[in-house]
């Protein structure tokens, strides 16, 4: 062990709770000269070792714990065991037709702080968001290719989180072949085109798989409005579920063109689909002036709050779109509404939606609480892993 960090009492308590993050204020001192991403031993106030973590000299999160076992090392065999466990879990909880496009590694929740790995058929897309992930990424790419026999591992490490770690933004092939653009994946009997080079996240919203399937079961004969449509995942599911007509609103012309291709690619009648390039806030108000009404509305906006400082503004944004949506629902209509902002708590989001319904003069019920699919698990000691909050509401 080349270097260790000694904890203050508060840091000890954090490790005892098995939380994977140690902030700079939890550290008493650093012994040795660990490089960015290197493994350090974590000692309590008595000098006893509590486990091992990755050191990040520039981040407020100074150490991300690999494990809490004094006797266990951090090496190739350790990571291979972790990878196998994560892959095996997905093979058990996901249906076979979902395993070709899924999240294989979900950061802290799978014991890999700062690492995201998504599978798209014969290719993996990796995001390395911490110093420890950056340190190990090439070795990890080799391990994953050997375990899964994929054709290539592509890196999409572009998040602003890397700046806090003192890391540059990086994209490119880590191992094997470059993926084609676009890739084709299948989900629920539908085919999607995925741009892993420039698409949102790693190319596709894998976390909404179960919610798209649920929507499909609710829309037979319905008129559906899909807001913040991106490439039309929810809209395509609605068409598959027998919706009479689907209207989709998206600000990005490029994404909307892919949504148009998806309709044709899957053999749906273009007359059942209307695509609108525009601002959702403005379009919802336009629909009210035109006295348009819908049976089902989906609100899946981008992250409104990146930090606590932005939370108040985000609350106003969520309140506004939900208010406008409630005004556009027919009696008995359904609203699927989401927030992917990590700063937004579930109780606060429910309150915002409740206030929106009240201001719209609607009585509404929560039929189901929604979150990310099972390949995005939450570690019980790391509740921050649950970022996607959603409600299925019925309005009178």
Active site residues: 340
The helix (run of H) or strand (run of E) holding residue 93 is helix 76-93
Q: Indicate the SS3 state at residue 46.
A: coil
> Phi and psi (nearest 5°) for 136?
-100, 0
Q: Alpha-carbon distance 129 to 66, whole Å?
A: 15
The helix (run of H) or strand (run of E) holding residue 20 is none
Residue that the structure tokens 């609710």 belong to: 218
Residue that the structure tokens 């076979």 belong to: 96
Are residues 343 and 305 in contact, defined by beta-carbon separation less than 8 angstroms? Answer: yes
Helix locations, 130-226, DSSP H: 131-148, 161-164, 209-216
Q: Alpha-carbon distance 234 to 284, whole Å?
A: 18
194 Cβ neighbours under 8 A, 6+ residues apart: 101, 120, 182, 183, 184, 185, 203, 204
Q: Is the dihedral of CA 249, 254, 260, 266 positive or negative?
A: negative
Q: Alpha-carbon distance 362 to 146, whole Å?
A: 55
The helix (run of H) or strand (run of E) holding residue 310 is none
Q: Alpha-carbon distance 138 to 174, whole Å?
A: 7
Q: Alpha-carbon distance 37 to 189, whole Å?
A: 42
Q: Alpha-carbon distance 138 to 298, whole Å?
A: 39
> Phi and psi (nearest 5°) for 308?
-60, -30
The helix (run of H) or strand (run of E) holding residue 384 is none
């Amino acid at each position: 062990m080349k270097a260790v960090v000694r904890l203050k009492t508060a840091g000890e308590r954090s490790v005892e709770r098995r939380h994977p993050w140690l902030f700079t204020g939890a550290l008493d001192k650093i012994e040795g000269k660990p490089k960015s991403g290197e493994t350090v031993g974590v000692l309590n106030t008595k000098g006893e070792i509590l486990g091992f973590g990755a050191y990040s000299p520039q981040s407020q999160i100074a150490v991300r714990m690999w494990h809490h076992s004094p006797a266990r090392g951090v090496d190739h065999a350790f990571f291979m065991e972790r990878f196998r466990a994560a892959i095996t879990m997905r093979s058990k909880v996901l249906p076979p037709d979902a395993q070709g496009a899924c999240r294989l590694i979900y950061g802290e929740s799978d014991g890999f702080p700062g690492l995201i790995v998504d599978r798209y058929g014969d290719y993996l897309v990796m995001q390395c968001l911490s110093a420890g992930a950056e340190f190990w990424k090439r070795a990890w790419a080799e391990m994953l290719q050997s375990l899964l026999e994929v054709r290539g591992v592509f890196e999409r490490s572009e998040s602003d989180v890397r700046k806090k770690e003192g890391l540059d933004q990086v994209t490119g092939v880590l191992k094997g072949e470059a993926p084609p653009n676009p890739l084709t994946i299948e989900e629920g009997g539908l085919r999607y085109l995925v741009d892993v080079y420039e698409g949102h996240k790693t190319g596709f919203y894998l976390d909404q798989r179960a919610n798209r399937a649920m929507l499909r079961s609710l829309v037979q004969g319905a008129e559906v409005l899909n807001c913040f449509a991106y490439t039309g995942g929810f809209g395509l599911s609605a068409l598959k579920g027998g919706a009479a007509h689907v209207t989709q609103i998206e600000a990005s012309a490029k994404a909307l063109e892919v949504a148009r291709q998806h309709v044709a690619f899957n053999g749906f009648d273009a007359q059942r689909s209307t695509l609108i390039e525009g601002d959702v806030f403005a379009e919802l108000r336009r629909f009210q002036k035109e006295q348009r009404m819908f049976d089902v509305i989906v609100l899946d906006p981008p992250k409104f709050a990146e930090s606590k400082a932005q939370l108040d503004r985000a609350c106003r944004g969520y309140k506004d779109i939900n208010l406008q949506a409630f005004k556009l629902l027919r009696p008995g209509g359904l609203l699927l509404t989401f927030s992917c902002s990590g700063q937004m708590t579930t109780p606060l989001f429910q309150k915002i939606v409740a206030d929106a319904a009240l201001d719209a003069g609607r009585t509404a019920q929560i039929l189901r609480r929604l979150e990310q699919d099972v390949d995005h698990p939450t570690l019980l000691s790391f509740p921050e892993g649950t970022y996607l909050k959603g409600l299925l509401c019925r309005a009178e």
